[in-house]
Amino acid sequence: MSAAALAHDIRPAPIITPQAAIAQADLAKAGPVLNDYSFGGYLIFAGIPTFIDGRGELYGGPFIDRYNRAVALVDLGDFLKLLDEYKIGATLLAPRTPAVAMLDRLPQWQRVYSDDVAVVHKRRDAPLR
């Protein structure tokens, strides 16, 4: 391996590395996690199953469109349905995602962590079965 390759920093950009959020909120034990698209790679690295990640061909266009519309709150009803349908136990979203502000207002969800990279909410009640 060349010295140039060794000197190159291969760590992901901090803005897509929710390391502190994952550790502080104990996401590995939270159940299914609805994650920000850009956090998918890091969740895979951390061994936490993703809701969505950069492998779009695995999900298909309709799923990706539904996800994008849901977290942007284009269809609030579908966002709430998605949380229940997939038995989401926690969310890991970028702070400016519209769904973050909605989760802050929902009584069954509690913000348990936030920083400039990620916000984590956990479902207050037992996960749906």
CA distance 48 to 57: 20
Orientation angle between helical segments 76-85 and 61-71, nearest 10 degrees: 120
Q: Which pLDDT tens digit goes with each residue over 9-45? A: 566 666 668 988 998 898 888 889 999 999 998 899 8
pLDDT digits (tens, 9 = 90+) for 89-129: 999 999 999 999 999 999 999 999 999 999 999 999 754 44
* Enclosing H/E stretch for 61: helix 61-71
| Whole-structure pTM value | 0.84
Nearest to 110 by CA among 125, 88, 98, 95: 125
